[in-house]
Amino acid sequence: MKRLTSLPALDGFYMPGEFEPHRGCIMIWPKRPGSWPFGAREARKAFAEIAESIADSEHVIMLAEKDVMESARQMLSDRIEVVEMASDDAWARDVGPTFVVNKDRHVRGIDWQFNAWGGHTDGLYADWEKDDLVAGAFLERFGYPAYDARHFVLEGGSIHSDGEGTLLVTERCLLSDGRNPSLTRLEIEEQLKNYLGAEKIIWLPYGIYQDETNEHVDNVCAFVRPGEVVLAWTDDNNDPQYEMSLADLKLLEQETDAKGRHFIIHKLPIPKVPVCIKEEELSGFVFEPGEDQREAGERLAASYVNFYISNGGVIVPQFGDEHDQKAVKILGECFPDRRIYPVYARDIIVGGGNIHCITQQIPEGEVHEKGNSGSGPDEVLRRHQ
């Protein structure tokens, strides 16, 4: 793997929009007993359904630890490439690399520092060593040149790009004490601009209520195309989310993107009934020392914004709530050329995240190098075709 110490923006690289063409998608097979109750039995069914939905239009690479490789192979079709790789949990969005492209559609990866969403300040587990190595290991295995950004803590779920110079983030997450406390807001902006090629950062005040990632942006607001976003919303002014989403809405209405466009904003309802951990689910967890523990009745950060855009579809979380179909309808109107895949996702949200959190897109494009082992990305694509 070629490890790059230059800055992507100076090299002409930037983060494309998720709605742009993909070469494939990274996922990680779940096993952590503190995230996935009852041996990840139900979670694996949901992961498999999501992987197969994505595989209808793009290649899926499922990373799995050695002891669960056979489980993954048994539950997934031959369309899914299962690759042995160590990790602490299954949040591919946050531990995987962020990919950047240039105008010639050459693709490189960024290896950020990962510290379990807050390190020793407010991180969610005590040991994240394997997760912190996933991005670099993936880039090496599949032959992508890697930008070294390990001086900077960032998760993929905390950023959303329109591919045209605009980046969405939340203040609550990127300014949290457990990530880059020695950096000012302007210095954090400088890092985002240098590594993601962003020209303008939109700082939303809040994410989703009770989001234990310090309110990742991918749970509250997402681009559907340049100049157009969906925003998690509730009309219930007794819900704590109401004031949070209202503050985000007011900011978006006042802002313009990097091209000077005002945003088209689609309000996407959150579930009408809060999604909470049940006593019977709680009995299936096995928590490690120092790991954040769930409690019966705890409200989870359920949001329909946490969808994944594949080449041919949009995979949308469902919660058995009366707003499920409304969310599907709104997203169907936002993505008229893509198939909507509704997936029951309660068995993912109990782990603390959702569909977007367990996926990481690899943009379409050329790669400068081949890896020293395993399949190069071009070989993977040929097999998929």
Active site residues: 357
Distance of CA 242 to the CA centre of its chain: 24
DSSP state of 158: G
DSSP state of 174: H
User: Is-contact 200 167, C-beta < 8 A?
Assistant: yes
List the beta strands (DSSP E) in 57-97: 59-64, 80-84
CA angle 28–378–85, rounded 5-degree value: 25
Residues 6+ apart with CB under 8 A from 357: 91, 92, 93, 94, 157, 216, 218, 219, 306, 348
Count of C-beta atoms within a 10 Å radius of residue 3: 12
Query: Which strands, in side-by-side order, build the sheet including 228-233?
Result: 221-225, 228-233, 264-269
Residue 360 CA: distances (Å) to CA of 36, 91, 287, 363: 20, 9, 26, 10
Residue type, position 169, single letter: V
Count of C-beta atoms within a 10 Å radius of residue 6: 11
Count of C-beta atoms within a 10 Å radius of residue 98: 24
User: Is-contact 223 18, C-beta < 8 A?
Assistant: yes
- Beta-strand relationship, 339-344 and 107-113: unpaired
User: Is-contact 299 278, C-beta < 8 A?
Assistant: no
Residues 6+ apart with CB under 8 A from 140: 1, 146, 371, 372
**Rounded CA gap, 190 and 350, in Å?**
35
Residue type, position 381, single letter: L
Residues 6+ apart with CB under 8 A from 234: 241, 242, 245, 269, 270
DSSP state of 256: B
